[in-house]
Amino acid sequence: MKIKEIKIGKVSIPLKKPFKTALRQVNSAEDIIVKVIADNGATGFGNAPPTAVITGDSQESIAAAIRNTIGPKLIGMEVGNLEGIMTVIDSSMRHNSSAKAALDIAVYDLFGKLHELPLYKLFGGYRHSMTTDLTISVNSPEEMVRDALEAVAAGHTALKIKVGTDAALDIKRVQAVREAVGDEIDIRLDANQGWTPKEAVRTIRSLETMGLNIEFIEQPVKAHDFAGLKYVTERVETDIMADEAAFGPYEVFQLLAMNACDLINIKLMKAGGLHNALKIANFAETMGIPCMMGCMLESKVGITAAASIAAGKKIIAKADLDAAVLLAEDPVVGGVSFAGNQIIIPDAPGLGITEVIGWQEI
């Protein structure tokens, strides 16, 4: 099975409600969907949601990197030579992690099809379903309570609350949600780089004193401030997770060597795909640091890829793979399914995806 052709397209999927974090607000999920087509007609699906504020990648830059720079080098390569293909993807250009992830996911999908193996089994087959949280956008405390109660009523047992816009108000937000949902629900916070190190320590200590029982806190400080992240981690009891700081394997290696965090959030679009996500998981496992698999606002293509590696690897113990649940429509045929708080990985070869409806070639 050889790579014959690469097609680039996009889908625009409306959200059920606007997605708001300390970094941005969006009303729809824009996703680039790549089809890597083999000479026997098999298609591998990959995706890359342009998330400029996090990855620096735009729709135009992703499409150009795939079309002009990385894609042409892959034509004619044997799908069975996964290692060779990944070396070409990684070495063809610097940065552009989203474009690399899209091709990586599509090639893994084809590799799974070639060997008739679902990807979660290829990655270790540790589980075939996981609990995923649901993200509560940053809003007024009243609105966040409404969203949280709605999520719990739908069967969710873990809520990820977006904070980081105003430390005093953040405490009120979390307190209001905790009072509304009770003690049985896991509450994790994501500050999306919104606090200074000292502000983070003050805020987190207040949350601890108030007994709000926060499972962990994601990225309290700026992405580049590894020393600040370590400062926070050392001064609070609550577990601290690196997200924007934990970009690719190299950054994660640095964070782990510094003991700068308690947990790592792996995302395919930061890592540059599944093969780098696997490296990160292996580093973290070596250092005894549990991981969470996260996602961008994206279609079920990337969610299925992320869920497949998370399910395969024991060290990826948590999942924040709710993007598909936030979408008002699902154009992806096949892939993961959802039941209450569970994300269920399919047993079909590769990603188990057969088509993306409304895919428009660009």
Enzyme catalytic residues: 162, 267
CB 162, min distance to Mg ion, A: 9
CB 32, min distance to Mg ion, A: 21
Residue 322 makes contact with Mg ion by CB under 5 A = no
Subset of 230-249 contacting Mg ion (CB under 5 A): 243
Token representation of residue 286 = 């070596």
| Closest residue to Mg ion, based on beta-carbon distance | 243
Please say which residue, 85 or 297, places its beta carbon nearer to Mg ion: 297
Please say which residue, 59 or 219, places its beta carbon nearer to Mg ion: 219
Instruction: Give the x-and-dash track for 125-164 against Mg ion (CB under 5 A).
Output: ----------------------------------------
Please say which residue, 112 or 294, places its beta carbon nearer to Mg ion: 294
CB 267, min distance to Mg ion, A: 8
Residue 131 CB burial class (10 angstroms; 0-12, 13-18, ≥19): middle
Count of residues engaged in binding Mg ion, rule: CB under 5 A: 3
CB 194, min distance to Mg ion, A: 11
Please say which residue, 178 or 270, places its beta carbon nearer to Mg ion: 270
CB 244, min distance to Mg ion, A: 7
Query: Which letter, b or e, does each residue of 9-47 get, where b requires 16 or more Cβ atoms within 10 Å of its Cβ?
Result: bbbebebeeebbbbeeeeeebbbbbbbbbbeeebbbbbb
Token representation of residue 216 = 């962990």
- Strand order of the sheet with strand 239-242? 134-136, 158-162, 186-190, 214-218, 239-242, 263-266, 291-293, 316-319
Please say which residue, 57 or 218, places its beta carbon nearer to Mg ion: 218
Helices (H), 164-290: 167-181, 197-209, 226-235, 249-258, 268-271, 274-286
Residue 190 makes contact with Mg ion by CB under 5 A = yes
- Answer for which of 104, 147, 215, 218 binds Mg ion (CB under 5 A) is 218
- Closest to 25 in 3D by CA, of 217, 297, 269: 297
Quickly count: other Cβ atoms within 10 Å of residue 163's Cβ: 27
Per CB under 5 A, residues contacting Mg ion are 190, 218, 243
